[in-house]
Every structure is written in structure tokens, then in C-alpha cells.
Structure 1
Amino acid sequence: MSFYFEMAAVALEMISEFGQAVTIRDVIKGEYDPDTSTTSPDSVVERIAQGILLDFTGQEFQTNSLIKVGDKKLKIAAAGLGPAPSLLSKVVAQGKTWTIIPPLKEINPAGTPILYELQVRS
């Protein structure tokens, strides 16, 4: 196992211990059938991830004008997650549905995703 795979496993272990389970929800658009001129229904794919929901600090508010009051920082362990969350994904945490605000940061040294850092807004 390479060093970065070990770091990803450690990140997952620590976030699982001190964080919480969050749901990443992706909507897959239905396909259009030109023969019938209809579109199949959208489908929803949900994945469980381990994450830590944090408040932004005062310094972050001063240096980033995209942060609004009530926004949170969500750090998600990449190990075992599968595909990275996208800007179209929704996150369900602490009983709320959160929208991901750009940029979506990926900590990915040497091509091994370890952590995703998201700005989320309810």
C-alpha cells in the first residue's frame, strides 16, 4: 500500500471517529427516447460518506466574499466513496439538505484522493 493510500485510510478513520455520516445525493437525468418522444424519469443515487461539518472562521469570511452567513465547510473522506461529489450533488447532513457552492476542493497528492473540502449552503 502506498503512503497516500495509507493517508486516505487514516483520514477516513479519523473522520469516522469524530465526524458523522452524511448522504451525497446525485440526480441522474432520464434518457430521451426519440422513437416515443418521451424522457424516462430521473433517478436518484445516494451514497453514504463520512464527513465533518464545520463553521467558517472570521479570517475566511474576510478573504472569501463567496461565503454567506450560515454557510458551512464540509470535509469528506475520499476513501471508499467512489466518484467525487460534483457541484450538482446535494448533501444531507444534520437533518438539512445542503447545496455545494464552488469551488469544490480535492486534496489529491500524487493522484490519490484523500479528502474533499466543500462549501455548503442550506
Structure 2
Amino acid sequence: MNFYDEMAAIAIEMITEFGQPVTIRATTIGEYDPETGSAPADSTKEQTAQGILLDFTGQEFQNNSLIKQGDKKLKIAAQGLEWGPELLNKVVVQGRTWSIVPPLKEINPAGTPILYELQVRS
């Protein structure tokens, strides 16, 4: 196990201990078929991750005008995920659905994803 794999293992261990389960939901919209005049039903895939939901600090509000009142910071451990979160995905934390807004940060030293840091809005 290399150094970054060890860091990913530590991240998942700490977030599991102090965080909570988070559902990442990706919806693929059915593409319209002009020959049939219809579109197939949308498909949704989900996966459960471990995450920590945090408030932004006052200094973060001063330094970033894209943060709105009520936005939260969500840190998700990358280890064990089938796929990483994307901007069009939704996340469900404590029964509440949140949209991911830019920026979506991936902590990925040397090609090993360790942590995703998301700004989420309900």
C-alpha cells in the first residue's frame, strides 16, 4: 500500500467515525428519439458514501461571493466509491436532498482520489 492509499484509508476511517451516510444520486435523462416521437424513462443510479456536512465559516463567506446563505460544505471520502460525484448529481443527507454547486473539488494527489469537497444547496 502506497502513501496515498494509506491517506485514503485514514480519510474513510475518520469520516466513518465522525460523519454520516450520504447518498449520491445520478440521474440520466432519456434521449428523445425523433423516429418514435418519445424518450425512454430517466434512469437513476445511487451509491452510499460516508460524509461530513459542515457550515461555511464567516471568512469563507467574505472570500467567496458564490456561497449563499444556507449553503453547506460536504466532505465525502473517496475510497470505496464506484464513481465520483459530479455537478449534476444530487446528494441526500439526513433525508434532505441537496444540489451540488460549483466548485466541486477532488483531493487527488498522484492520481489517488482521497476526498471530495462539495458545496451543496437545498
Place the TM-score, normalised by the shorter chain, in its bin: over 0.9
User: CA offsets per residue over residues 71-122 of structure 1, 9 Å max, x none?
Assistant: 1000000000121101000000022100111010000000100000000011
1-structure distance, mates of 2:102, 2:9 = 26
Alpha-carbon offset, residue 32 of structure 1: 4.1
Counterpart mapping for 1:58-73 below 5 A: 58-73=58-73
Partner of residue 16, structure 2: 16
After TM superposition, the runs of 4+ consecutive aligned structure 1 residues lying more than 6 A away are none
User: Match of 1:101, as an amino acid?
Assistant: V
Partner of residue 119, structure 1: 119
Matched pairs, number: 122
More divergent stretch after superposition (28-37 vs 8-17): 28-37
Partner of residue 95, structure 1: 95
Alpha-carbon offset, residue 36 of structure 1: 2.5
User: Match of 1:28, as an amino acid?
Assistant: T
Which segments of 5 or more consecutive residues in structure 2 lack a partner in the other structure?
A: none
TM-score by length of 1: 0.95
Alpha-carbon offset, residue 31 of structure 1: 4.0
Q: CA RMSD in A?
A: 1.1
User: Match of 1:100, as an amino acid?
Assistant: I
User: CA offsets per residue over residues 21-79 of structure 1, 9 Å max, x none?
Assistant: 01001101224445433211001111100000000001101000011111100000000
TM-score by length of 2: 0.95
Percent same amino acid at aligned positions?
74
